[in-house]
Amino acid sequence: MGLIVQKFGGTSVATAERINAAAKRVTDAYKAGNKVIVVVSARGQTTDELIDLAYEITDNPSSREMDMLMSTGEQISVALMAMAIHALGFPAVSFTGGQVGIVTDSYHTKARIRNINTTRIQKELDKGTIVIVAGFQGVDVNENITTLGRGGSDTTAVALAAIMKADRCDIYTDVDGIYTADPRKVPCARKLNRVSYDEILELASLGAQVMHSRSIEFAKKYNVPLYVRSSFNNSEGTLICKEVKEMENIVVSGVAVSKDDAKITIRGVPDVPGQAAKIFHDIAKKNINVDMIIQNASIEGRADVTFTVPRSDLRMALETAEKIKKELSAKEVLHDSKIAKLSVVGIGMRSHCGVAEKMFSVLAEEKINIQMISTSEIKISCVIDEAHAERAMRAVHTAFGLDKVEKEEVVKV
Amino acid sequence: MGLIVQKFGGTSVATAERINAAAKRVTDAYKAGNKVIVVVSARGQTTDELIDLAYEITDNPSSREMDMLMSTGEQISVALMAMAIHALGFPAVSFTGGQVGIVTDSYHTKARIRNINTTRIQKELDKGTIVIVAGFQGVDVNENITTLGRGGSDTTAVALAAIMKADRCDIYTDVDGIYTADPRKVPCARKLNRVSYDEILELASLGAQVMHSRSIEFAKKYNVPLYVRSSFNNSEGTLICKEVKEMENIVVSGVAVSKDDAKITIRGVPDVPGQAAKIFHDIAKKNINVDMIIQNASIEGRADVTFTVPRSDLRMALETAEKIKKELSAKEVLHDSKIAKLSVVGIGMRSHCGVAEKMFSVLAEEKINIQMISTSEIKISCVIDEAHAERAMRAVHTAFGLDKVEKEEVVKV
């Protein structure tokens, strides 16, 4: 007995059959006595098809009109979902983001939710109606349609769960839950029953892309328990919730690898105060996110500064680096886009020593060179050669005891 | 320099190429110094595809959710149209029916416009922006999305033209204009340069389906001149406007044939007062539209009553007729669905005699039997055997001097 938000991703509503299956999950929750809010994404490839239509017209579509166009994808989904629930004999009503009072700022294609007027949702829930809301979209104060950018439907679901004080927010997707590592790359990866917001935030930003960071941050801020599970089977999913005492016993919850970065080194930077500030000021002015930074010890008054940037920004970052090199009379600019960032994440790190040491040893045993290191309270990341990424991930996964038990038994036999 | 509303039908925006061509027409009007409001239908087969999606889910979709679903078709079109106009270098902004303040009643899938809040349109026009409005849709007072039913985009265009006091409403479609007869059936049919609202209303309801009657009625009521023309070429179209003196010289403006009716005869109805009322009261209760009615002279206290109903309602009408037969102790019920209604329409009939006589003579010469006759101030309709419909139409078309001159010359050569 409570209020549940259920979010269905694009693959979960791609066909009439899947929409009917999703509707069944909704009505099961309703029959169990819950009030239910459903958030739906655009069906399967719809968004891509709409984007293609736009690019047939122009190479440079306005972002306002893209939002007008793309928001139809979710609108189609909610109407079909309402019909499917009606067909099962239950009351349901669909709403666009605008109709349900999701007001955002005016940054088209990446708008942020400002507030949600809950009057209409509450009224329908009170009547016993299942409320279906189009994910990913809202309106600005002038009623222009906006979209929330990548992972936008998750954000809608979490925001609704937060403001409606839902007991739980179910995220139905095409994977069974959150794993200790990407199961496509680490076959012996284990599904996590429970993981904290902070851990999943580190894992998400590192390439374990089950949910977008923004929606997790939102869930953390408003303490919305998220339950990630598959819409294709009934296996237990993963509960993402706030940290509890017992989680500390698990030193490492997951291992992730990301290949989205490139490395730039400016060699021979004069080792006088203010030089690093100068470099990263210029890079930041280009709107490029710098992730890791290292500076080696100065030799003969000169130091090497190395940092990583998103691969997609590499060319722009290199142009800036070359300009900086001249201005600072540095020696040369080197770069490498064939790198991978391997990370281990776990709340238990806070109270356990030796995690970094263990990770470094494993990589050493595998004869994999560590190019850069960065750490946070619950994460250790190493930059290595991209070619060794998967092998390194599997080795670290095993070393931290994350392999599933069945796998070990198979190995013994 | 005035205000022009341009409406583009589904075939006129079916592909990127056609959208770009339509955008060119819009910007040409804009460059000529006009303020322009564009109304767009759903692209090509979009509406049918959306309806198919619904019927994959359920045989009985709710009309509110159908409107939610179908309204996305026009929303896609307006966004793409705005992009195409932007690509040509002109300012444009797209709106849904709801955004632009088109408020309707709550009769989903066949809503009627109640009022239009013109503030936003006027503001954008004043800024010099081309305003693009999704046809076919509005919202009710609770912001539920509604659609206007068949010909809804025409209605949107005409309503906007009326309330904005536009100088003209251009209806771009896939035909060149309004013809004296359906050119697919009467190859020598001539395009009309000008035709009155009343004539086109009679022609439209008789099967010359260029525009839906409702939008013509609207245009007549608010005296909006409609200019029907092709979006595929630059030939002159047809102006639909209020009747002017000189139109009276044209006795017959057009000939139309409709095969949408069926004929029912109840034989041997006792010829006492109140029997006809009883018959048509019962039929009306079933929501069946009766078009023509004839009753022959009574023989031995009994008469035959014949009437036409839409073919789609024939079965229901027959059931009712059989029930009536029993109740009135009439003799038998006959029916024929292989009939056609041939009509000639013209404002000049009001002041010219002999039109009916001429029509009957032509049919007699062709040895075509007239089964029923009905007349209005500007129309004469005859029910004939469906098999002779096209031949009869061509003969009447020629007899009233409607064939195009080129055709006659060709014949002479």
User: pLDDT tens for residues A69-93?
Assistant: 999 999 999 999 999 999 999 999 9
Q: Are residues A122 and A28 in the same domain?
A: yes
User: pLDDT tens for residues A222-254?
Assistant: 999 999 999 999 899 999 999 888 777 788 999
Q: Quick check: B143 and A99 CB within 8 A?
A: yes
Residue B410 — very low, low, confident or very high, per pLDDT cuts 50/70/90? very low
Helix (H, G, I), strand (E, B) or coil at A399: helix
Residue of B nearest to A91 (CA): B62
Q: Are residues B252 and B166 in the same domain?
A: no
Q: Are residues B164 and B304 in the same domain?
A: no
Tell me: pLDDT of A206 over 70. no
Residue of A nearest to B66 (CA): A79
Residues of B contacting chain A (CB within 8 angstroms): 16, 19-20, 50, 53-54, 56-58, 60-62, 64-66, 68-69, 71-72, 75-76, 78-80, 82-84, 86-87, 93-94, 96, 98-99, 143-145
Residue B25 lies in domain = 3-174
Helix (H, G, I), strand (E, B) or coil at B144: coil
CA distance A65 to A374: 41
Residue A208 — very low, low, confident or very high, per pLDDT cuts 50/70/90? low
Last residue of a domain, one of B174, B189, B216: B174
Residue B298 — very low, low, confident or very high, per pLDDT cuts 50/70/90? confident
Tell me: pLDDT of B207 over 70. no
pLDDT at residue A207, as a whole number: 57
- Does A354 map to a domain? yes
Q: Are residues B283 and B412 in the same domain?
A: yes
Tell me: pLDDT of B6 over 90. yes
Contacts of A394 (CB under 8 A, 6+ apart): A181, A185, A186, A188
Query: pTM, whole model, 2 decimals?
Result: 0.83
Q: Quick check: B83 and A54 CB within 8 A?
A: yes
Handedness of CA A156, A162, A164, A166 (dihedral sign): positive
User: pLDDT tens for residues B36-45?
Assistant: 999 999 998 8
Which residues in A lie closer than 8 A to residue B62 (C-beta atoms)?
A: 82-83, 86
The β-bridge partners of B273 are none
DSSP character for B216?
H
Mean pLDDT of chain B: 91
Tell me: pLDDT of B412 over 80. no
DSSP character for B179?
B
**Mean pLDDT, to the nearest integer, of A104-125?**
95
Which residues in A lie closer than 8 A to residue B71 (C-beta atoms)?
A: 75
Tell me: pLDDT of A205 over 80. no
- Does A317 map to a domain? yes
pLDDT at residue A246, as a whole number: 77
pLDDT at residue B214, as a whole number: 85
Mean pLDDT of chain A: 91
Q: Quick check: B99 and A50 CB within 8 A?
A: no
CA distance A188 to A78: 37
Distance from CA of B291 to the nearest CA of A (A): 37
Q: How crowded is the C-beta side of A344, counted as CA atoms within 13 Å?
A: 28
Residue of B nearest to A144 (CA): B99
Helix (H, G, I), strand (E, B) or coil at A50: helix
Residue of B nearest to A142 (CA): B99
Q: Which residue of B45, B60, B65, B120 is the best one to mutate when testing the A interface, meaning the one whose CB has the most A CBs within 10 A?
A: B65
User: B190 with B175: CB under 8 angstroms?
Assistant: no
Q: Are residues B281 and B384 in the same domain?
A: yes
Residue of A nearest to B50 (CA): A76
User: A282 with A324: CB under 8 angstroms?
Assistant: yes
- Does B51 map to a domain? yes
Q: E strand or H helix at B244, and its extent?
A: none
Q: Are residues A408 and A293 in the same domain?
A: yes
pLDDT at residue A407, as a whole number: 42
Q: Are residues A137 and A43 in the same domain?
A: yes
- Does A324 map to a domain? yes
User: pLDDT tens for residues B17-51?
Assistant: 999 999 999 999 999 999 999 999 999 889 999 99
Tell me: pLDDT of B320 over 90. yes
Q: What percent of chain B stands above pLDDT 90?
A: 69
Nearest to B57 among A64, A71, A83 (CB): A83
ipTM over 0.85: no
Choose between B247 and B93: higher pLDDT: B93
Contacts of A339 (CB under 8 A, 6+ apart): A259, A261, A262, A263, A308, A371, A383, A384, A385, A386
DSSP character for B38?
E
Q: Are residues B31 and B136 in the same domain?
A: yes
Last residue of a domain, one of A146, A174, A202: A174
Residue of A nearest to B96 (CA): A68
Domains held by chain B: number:
2
Tell me: pLDDT of A204 over 60. yes
CATH of the domain at B333: 3.30.2130.10
Six-digit token pair at B27? 């910007």
**Mean pLDDT, to the nearest integer, of A110-127?**
95
Q: Are residues A148 and A10 in the same domain?
A: yes
CA distance A289 to A284: 7
Q: Quick check: B69 and A61 CB within 8 A?
A: no
Six-digit token pair at A125? 């829930």
Q: Quick check: A60 and B87 CB within 8 A?
A: yes
- Does A169 map to a domain? yes
Q: Quick check: B82 and A76 CB within 8 A?
A: no
Last residue of a domain, one of A174, A189, A212: A174
Which residues in B lie closer than 8 A to residue A57 (C-beta atoms)?
A: 16, 19-20, 80, 83-84, 87
Tell me: pLDDT of A184 over 90. no
Residue A411 — very low, low, confident or very high, per pLDDT cuts 50/70/90? very low
Q: Are residues B146 and B293 in the same domain?
A: no
CA distance B5 to B83: 19
Residue B206 — very low, low, confident or very high, per pLDDT cuts 50/70/90? low
Residues of A contacting chain B (CB within 8 angstroms): 16, 19-20, 50, 53-54, 56-58, 60-62, 64-66, 68-69, 71-72, 75-76, 78-80, 82-84, 86-87, 93-94, 96, 98-99, 143-145
Q: Are residues B374 and B254 in the same domain?
A: yes
Nearest to A65 among B19, B62, B94 (CB): B94
- Does B208 map to a domain? no
Distance from CA of B165 to the nearest CA of A (A): 25
Kindly report the number of other CB atoms within 10 A of residue B376's CB atom.
12
Q: Quick check: B57 and A16 CB within 8 A?
A: yes
Tell me: pLDDT of A260 over 80. yes
**Among residues B407, B412, B410, B339, which one has the least CA distance to residue B181?**
B407
Which residues in B lie closer than 8 A to residue A58 (C-beta atoms)?
A: 83-84, 86-87
Residue of B nearest to A140 (CA): B99
Contacts of A222 (CB under 8 A, 6+ apart): A158, A161, A162
CATH of the domain at A47: 3.40.1160.10
Choose between A366 and A212: higher pLDDT: A366
The counts of H helices and E strands in chain B are 12, 20
User: B167 with B382: CB under 8 angstroms?
Assistant: no
Q: Quick check: B94 and A144 CB within 8 A?
A: no
- Does B194 map to a domain? no
Q: Are residues A163 and A277 in the same domain?
A: no
Which residues in B lie closer than 8 A to residue A82 (C-beta atoms)?
A: 62, 65, 68
Tell me: pLDDT of B407 over 60. no
**Mean pLDDT, to the nearest integer, of B131-138?**
97
- Does B293 map to a domain? yes
pLDDT at residue B406, as a whole number: 55
Q: Quick check: A83 and B62 CB within 8 A?
A: yes
Tell me: pLDDT of A209 over 70. no
User: pLDDT tens for residues A337-352?
Assistant: 999 999 999 988 888 8
DSSP character for A209?
T
